[in-house]
Chain A
Amino acid sequence: MTRATASGFWKQALSIARRDLMIESRGGEVFGVVLPFAAVAVFVVPLATDALATRLDQLAYPVFWLVGLLFGMQVALRQTGTENLTQRRTLALMGIDPAARFAGRSLAAAILTTGVMLVIAPLVVLFYDPDSIPDIWPSLAAIIGFALGLSMLSTLAGDVTVGLRTRSSLAPLIVAPISVPLLIGASQTLEALIRDRSTMAPALLLTVTVLSLAVTGVLTAPALEEATT
């Protein structure tokens, strides 16, 4: 009798992430469809706020986070639909660690979400011309933290709503309220950087939220896999 040995958690997670990124590179939905709409949204907001047109610079960062949240959620939730029932069952029967699957799918979604936000960021700066621009590396860390948290949250919401007819409307309703601490943590970190204040409290909020989502995702992954295969 033979018995296959399990490859390591991270090897499995990275293979799943690579799979999702390869599928995205072939389909091109995120950068071919979601990103152009996100870019349009950046330009549309000032048209809807005519009264503030003279103070466009003050809208820069709120618009960045709003567009990042809405379209990041779109990217991450779309990614969670990569697997159909047969594929999920095939992975389960290969003995793939459900937590590694969660980590891999979240990682792929986080990379794509970060990519979308990094394309939006210079558009916002160019169009809104904010008074000051925060240091690039701490800002990048806040964006990556936000994207990672949003992706894990969306992956969880995607799994909870798998197979439901109302999935496309229900999943964002789950993600939106729970993403508030992520949004506050990331946006206030940037705000603190701009105003030269301590980033400790918002960065801590962001970190704790991301870690909580990671722990929740890993702990609930086996039960969610059972429920969705």
Chain B
Amino acid sequence: MNSALVSLRGVGVRFGPTPVLADIDLDLAPGEALGITGPNGAGKSTLLAVISTLLRPAAGTVSVFGSPVLRRDLPGVRRRIGMSGHEPGLYPELTLLENLALVENLVGDVRMSAMQVLEVVGLAGAAQRRASTASNGMQRRTDLARLIMTRPDLILLDEAHASLDSAARDIIDRLIHRTCEAGGGAVVVSHDRGVLGRSVDRVVEVAAGRLT
């Protein structure tokens, strides 16, 4: 067992012949919010995908919640991870409420009902709006509502602050704060160091697939 929430040792990722990440050593302690920054194409999102367990590295080891990630443990480990990116995973044909009700039905044990969480993110009035007709900001807030609802132990945000208003950014910051306060952790990816400054405890930079 490892006391770190996330621990990466010598992690390398290749897409075909192209190396995307190399020799990554990284730890996230319980209660810590980590920022990852770097230029476009540096490998930030790939690193987040590795931490999320969605991408298996070609080299190195990944431990999440203190144990190496084994295939048989994946559903249990993943249930404790929440990820939100610049493209929300909503179903455009369903309303915002129906999208969250689906999460409620699938996960079962949620902290708030779909309607309650829409109120928290300021979208109660748009509950019956189809996701396809909601603005990008509304869709992103709904995606954040999913994380508030399921309250994961590890939050991964990929450029989640981009093109959001200050109220929505406050929601993100509160989510990170509450998760860390409860002993969980957060990894926030952004190419904008200024955005990370107010949300995380420390920032690491990825350049050309390596931590610098």
Contacts and interface: CB of A to CB of B under 8 A. Distances in A.
A89 B52 CA distance: 10
Classify the secondary structure of B's interface with A. Answer: loop
Contact of A94 (B54, B88, B150, B184): B150
A27 B93 CA distance: 7
Contacts of A96: 75, 106
B182 interface: yes
Contact of B54 (A15, A19, A93): A93
A7 B105 contact: yes
Contact of A3 (B75, B80, B91, B93): B80
B108 A19 contact: no
B89 A89 contact: yes
B93 A26 contact: yes
Interface in B78-94: 78-83, 85, 87-91, 93-94
A4 interface: yes
Interface in A1-15: 1-7, 11-12, 15
Contacts of A180: none
A90 B107 contact: no
Contacts of A91: 89, 106
Given A2-B153, A95-B78, A23 B93 contact: yes
B83 A7 contact: no
A93 B71 contact: no
A220 interface: no
A87 interface: yes
Given A27-B93, A87-B91, A4 B75 contact: no
B175 to A, nearest CB: 14
A229 interface: yes
A7 B103 CA distance: 11
Contacts of B94: 19, 22-23, 26
Contact of A15 (B78, B85, B106, B152): B106
A90 B89 contact: yes
A84 B85 CA distance: 14
Contact of B85 (A6, A11, A82, A86): A86
A6 B150 CA distance: 12
Closest 8 CB pairs of A and B: A95-B79, A7-B108, A90-B89, A26-B93, A15-B105, A86-B89, A95-B75, A23-B93
23 contacts: A1-B153, A1-B183, A1-B184, A2-B153, A3-B79, A3-B153, A4-B107, A4-B108, A4-B152, A6-B79, A6-B108, A19-B94, A19-B102, A22-B94, A22-B98, A23-B94, A26-B93, A26-B94, A27-B93, A87-B89, A89-B54, A96-B75, A96-B106
Interface of A: 1-7, 11-12, 15-16, 18-19, 22-23, 26-27, 82, 84, 86-87, 89-97, 222, 226, 229
Given A3-B80, A93-B78, A222-B71, 17 more contacts: A1-B184, A4-B79, A4-B109, A4-B150, A5-B108, A6-B75, A23-B94, A26-B94, A86-B85, A89-B83, A93-B54, A93-B83, A94-B78, A94-B106, A95-B75, A95-B107, A97-B75
